[in-house]
Chains A and B, each alone.
Chain A
Amino acid sequence: EVQLVQSGGEVKKPGESLKISCKASGYNFARHWVGWVRQRPGKGLEWMGITYPDDLDMRYNAAFQGLVTISADKSINTAYLQWSSLKASVTAMYYCVRLLPEPNPVPLDWGQGTLVTVSS
Chain B
Amino acid sequence: DIQMTQSPSTLSASVGDRVTITCRASQSINTFLAWYQQKPGRAPKLLIYKASHLQGGVPSRFSGSGSGTEFTLTISSLQPDDFATYYCQEYISYSRIFGQGTKVDIK
Chain A interface (Cβ within 8 Å of chain B)?
37, 44-47, 49, 59-63, 95, 100, 104-108, 110-113
Contacts and interface: CB of A to CB of B under 8 A. Distances in A.
6 contacts: A45-B98, A47-B95, A61-B95, A61-B96, A106-B91, A112-B43
Interface string B35-61: 010100001111001100101000000
Interface of B: 1, 32, 34, 36, 38, 43-46, 49-50, 53, 55, 87, 89, 91, 94-101
Contacts of B38: 45
A47 B91 CA distance: 10
A47 B89 contact: yes
The 9 closest A-B pairs by CB, nearest first: A110-B43, A47-B96, A61-B95, A106-B34, A45-B98, A44-B101, A59-B94, A104-B49, A106-B49
A112 B44 CA distance: 10
A110 B96 contact: no
Nearest to B48: A106
Contacts of A95: 43-44
